[in-house]
Amino acid sequence: MVIVPPAAYGPAMKPRVLVTRANFPEVLDLLRAHFEVEDNQADEALDTEALRKRLSDKDGALFLPIDRVDAHILQGSPRLKAACNVAVGYNNIDVAACTTAGILVTNTPDVLTETTADLGFALMMAAARRMGEAERHVRAGQWDGWAIEQFLGQDIHGATLGIVGMGRIGQAIARRARGFDMQVLYHNRNRVPEETEDALQARYVSLDDMLREVDFLMLTAPYSAATHHLIGAPQLAAMKPTAVLVNLGRGGVVDDAALVDALRAGTIFAAGLDVYEGEPALHRGFYELENVVLTPHIASATRATRIRMSMTAANNLVAALTGKRPPNLVNPEVWDRRRQ
């Protein structure tokens, strides 16, 4: 990883930055080589007003996906020049408001692709084979021996997998599916190049056709107005009763209330979820269901990956505040305006 060399600031002239929550020591060391850093190693939750107050005299910030950066926050941050998110997604940041205010927004693509795909496959397998339910059964001391119909699940090998969102993570999922001899269908805003389809052995289909055909539906699409409740009651009703849904993308792509109803009614077999509408709050119905595997937004949660994500965000911040174009710029028009 290339680290931008420190700028020639005197001690009193260093830009001031905020790291909103606890982070790795090596990340803070990198930032302190360039900036005056206010950290939050106590990992205290910052509500809107607390975040606004801390940003009021900052030139840049390292944000986590749990930080909501909106116009109200920005109005109280007149010096802010860079908002660097430790995530590939950035729907927690009002990019349009940042662009209007001349604030560079960055994310951390690429470094978490394979780790996230690993968890997606793990969720799919756990939901299909009822692993959460079976593990709770054993821990409760209820297992009294082997039985022919005990915890029957769904086969993964040779099944049909549908992927909604054939970006980096979707393609990594498709590569893993080849090892299980799965047929891969995909739906995307834009069809990927033919050579990519051939390499992944994946076939483009409409969403409606996919829903009818798949045994497993993997969602890796980002959240936007266009993907809000992309999967709701009508789409769930179109799926096989043996189908398994996995949401690895973002909360809001699935109508969680409709999914609870479908799981409760047996409309689909099971689900594996790492993201939710309104997280960290969950629809209360999920807690009552045995046929759903729930993880707390941990798709990128390995130490190696989270360090890479944080260092990528820190290098974006160093670049943004030392006159260099950040490598992972979300709103390049702000940079273009600065160069005019």
Residues classed as catalytic:
250, 279, 297
Measure the CA–CA gap between 98 and 83, rounded to whole angstroms: 8
Q: What is the DSSP letter of 226?
A: T
Full DSSP string of 259-291? HHHHHHHTSSSEEEES--TTTTS--GGGGG-SS
Measure the CA–CA gap between 255 and 241, rounded to whole angstroms: 18
Give Cα separations from 325 to 47, 278, 295 (angstroms). Answer: 31, 33, 36
CB atoms within 10 A of CB 139: 9
Measure the CA–CA gap between 315 and 320, rounded to whole angstroms: 8
Longest distance between any two alpha carbons in the chain, whole Å: 74
Angle between helices 113-128 and 131-139 (to 10 degrees): 70
Coil vs helix vs strand at 141: coil
Measure the CA–CA gap between 316 and 325, rounded to whole angstroms: 8
